[in-house]
Amino acid sequence: MATENKILILGPTGSIGRHIVWASVKAGNPTYALVRNTPGNVNKPTLVAAANPETKEELIANYQSLGVILLEGDINDHETLVKAIKQVDTVICATGRLLIEDQVKIIKAVKEAGNVKRFFPSEFGLDVDRHDAVDPVKPVFDEKASIRRVIEAEGVPYTYLCCHAFTGFFLRNLAQVNTTDPPRDKAVILGDGNVKGAYVTESDVGVFTIRAANDPNALNKAVHIRLPKNYLTQNEVISLWEKKIGKTLEKTFVTEEQVLKDIKESSFPHNYLLALYHSQQIRGDAVYEIDPAKDIEASEAYPDVPYTTADEYLNQFV
């Protein structure tokens, strides 16, 4: 159903931004994308590239064919940013981790424009107010939390989107570092493998984000995507895969002490991915109770939205 909610996506060619653009168009929202006049990043980490094969140039051509309104600009160019924001109702930021702190510039532009009904800061991970992560991801989560505090202090209407583990980063390789496909012989499991994690495809994140953007009840709340069939322990994930390939994997369980040592001794992106896996598989950062006064559980608020289950997702690798 068409809607008059005009949505602007910042970071529209990133690993999650592209899915938000597609979901917005499909939902019938007038969709705008702020695009920088710079070449796309061709040096993406292998896992990121595998999960998001489209180039920036291919995406822009696709957006044009879909009727997306492309606006040239940059979050560091205040004048063009304000001009873009004045044309829409909702602003969704999906820029990468290196631009988190730059969102104060977006908040300033939103305040100056004075017309925005909702701002989604770039989160799209765990709930940054509920985590026990370690370096090098902890500073990133802390930066995201600080942006929340600026939004709230400035009185900007918001929605925070907490989706936890993208299947393209956590499930396509069963959280095995240095590979882009599920293992067929051996699997490394952090901790005892019995801690619940929340998985969701990037495409479904886009759908739930736009659903929340069009939902008045999500105003000034955090939307949590923990889908029942995808709320699984690592042992359950491995079991799903073993059933598909008809084989039992040789499992190595790694203690938290060893994981922390490996994180400290590794370089990027190995240490970053390992810290993310540690956050979910050992610290249990997807396990918590929500507060109805400030939180929404997506599966309960939008039960009619279909989603790809972890079991279905893994079929492509058999």
Q: What is the pLDDT of residues 111-125, one digit of tens each?
A: 999 999 999 999 999
In angstroms, the CA 181 to CA 238 distance is 13
Residue 142, SS3? Answer: helix
Q: For residue 102, give the amino acid letter.
A: D
Which structural domains are found in the chain, ordered by start? 7-317 (3.90.25.10)
Q: What is the pLDDT of residue 44?
A: 61
Alpha helices in the chain (DSSP H): 17-27, 46-51, 56-66, 78-85, 103-113, 138-154, 167-170, 202-213, 234-245, 256-265, 270-281, 298-301, 310-314
Which residues have C-beta within 8 Å of that of residue 181, sequence separation ≥ 6?
Answer: 172, 173, 317
Q: What is the pLDDT of residue 40?
A: 61
Contact 212, 298 (CB under 8 A): yes
In angstroms, the CA 69 to CA 77 distance is 19
Which residues have C-beta within 8 Å of that of residue 240, sequence separation ≥ 6?
Answer: 232, 310, 311, 314
Q: What is the pLDDT of residue 37?
A: 81
Catalytic-labelled residue, pool 44, 83, 111, 144? 144
Q: What is the pLDDT of residue 48?
A: 67
Residue 115's Cα: distance from chain center in Å? 26
In angstroms, the CA 16 to CA 10 distance is 11
Sign of CA dihedral 111, 117, 122, 123: positive
Angle at CA of residue 250, ends 245 and 256, nearest 5°: 120
Q: What is the pLDDT of residue 188?
A: 97
Residues of the chain with pLDDT under 50: 1
Which residue reads 């104060």 in tokens?
104
Q: What is the pLDDT of residue 43?
A: 62
**Terminal-to-terminal C-alpha distance of the chain:** 36
| Tens-place pLDDT, residues 8-31 | 999 999 999 999 999 999 999 999
Catalytic, 144? Answer yes
Which residue reads 């190595």 in tokens?
252
What is the DSSP code (8-state) at residue 130? Answer: S
User: Minimal CA–CA distance to 185: which of 194, 176, 193?
Assistant: 176
Q: Model-level pTM?
A: 0.95
| Tens-place pLDDT, residues 163-205 | 999 999 899 999 998 898 999 999 999 999 999 999 999 999 9
Q: What is the pLDDT of residue 306?
A: 97
